[in-house]
Amino acid sequence: MDETEKMSEIFKLLGDKTRLTILALLKERECCVCELVDILQTSQPNVSQHIRKLKAGGLVRERRHGQWIYYSLNQTSHPALEQILGLLPSQSGRIEESALNKCPI
């Protein structure tokens, strides 16, 4: 796959509002699915499906801690992603609001 095709796939992933919001949230800090469900006010299967697509595209990575899985950005595989995410509005307020509902570790 050449670079143009890779960028096309990234832009397809970023073309969905929910996935773009998930990436903006992960730009602030790593999150588990339950936090993303709370912030996005959507179902767990919906969030998991979007995470699966972002992982398959190499944009998100996971870290296991006991029974919990935490997701974070994988900016190393796509250097242009950092520039794109820099254009997104901060989600720190939404992250702080959900901090009270954070999944136990």
Domain spans of the chain, in order of start: 3-90
- Please report, as a single letter, which amino acid is at residue 65: H
| Residue 30 in this model has a pLDDT that exceeds 80 | yes
- CA-to-CA distance for 41 and 21, rounded, in angstroms? 12
The residues that bridge with 70 in the sheet, in sequence order, are 32, 63
The CATH class of 3-90 is mainly alpha
> Mind listing the pLDDT tens digit for each residue in 55-98?
999 999 999 999 999 999 997 767 777 888 888 888 888 888 77
> Mind listing the pLDDT tens digit for each residue in 51-63?
999 999 999 999 9
Tell me the two tokens of residue 50. Answer: 């979007």
Its pTM stands at 0.87
